């Protein structure tokens, strides 16, 4: 298969059948203005040729780092399959219509949590967070919870996608796809 997005679809479907938890979990790597790297787990919420999409608080540390560097790396690790996929590329913001549509599919408690959490900022104690949650729960009682203005999505527009499979004698299989205009070039890497 020479289309890395189609190959990713196959691998993700196999992971969904074999991984016990969150086959859409991916490590998101960013870098701050000082060059300090940071990595955390997020959930893939959509993907295609234009990008791999996740959602977060746009005032969080990760969002600040994404805005600074304009680039990120992703890593999917499916232990049950002994496979990994690495994606590197430019950050593209999700448009407002798509962000609204995805937010509307989230459970009410997750929607309220997006309003209550000041993600990545210091917290004096759990009571502070619970008080904010109680306030937004009351504010939106009996109605829909709109998307907060500080919550949206980002896509990583892939420039490279690497597929790694465990191999005998640690001779792993590594296929690297690199964006070339509208298409992809493919090569192999040493394990």
Active-site annotation, residues = 170
CB atoms within 10 A of CB 65: 22
Q: What is the phi/psi pair of residue 48, to 5°?
A: 180, -170
Quick one: which of 81, 75, 110 has its CA closest to 20?
81
Quick one: which of 67, 37, 72 has its CA closest to 51?
72
């Amino acid at each position: 298969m020479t289309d890395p997005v189609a190959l990713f679809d196959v691998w993700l479907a196999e992971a969904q059948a074999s991984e016990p938890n969150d086959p859409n979990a991916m490590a998101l790597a960013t870098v701050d203005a000082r060059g300090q790297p940071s990595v955390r787990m997020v959930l893939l919420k959509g993907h295609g040729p234009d990008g791999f999409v996740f959602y977060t608080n746009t005032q969080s540390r990760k969002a600040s780092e994404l805005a600074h560097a304009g680039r990120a790396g992703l890593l999917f690790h499916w232990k049950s399959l002994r496979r990994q996929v690495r994606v590197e590329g430019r950050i593209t913001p999700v448009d407002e219509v798509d962000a609204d549509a995805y937010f509307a599919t989230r459970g009410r408690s997750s929607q309220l949590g997006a309003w209550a959490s000041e993600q990545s900022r210091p917290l004096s104690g759990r009571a502070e967070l619970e008080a904010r949650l109680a306030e937004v729960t009351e504010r939106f009682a009996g109605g829909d919870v709109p998307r907060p203005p500080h919550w949206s999505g980002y896509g990583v527009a892939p420039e490279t996608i690497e597929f790694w499979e465990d191999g005998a004698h640690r001779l792993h299989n590594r296929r690297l796809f690199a964006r070339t205009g509208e298409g992809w070039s493919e090569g192999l890497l040493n394990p």
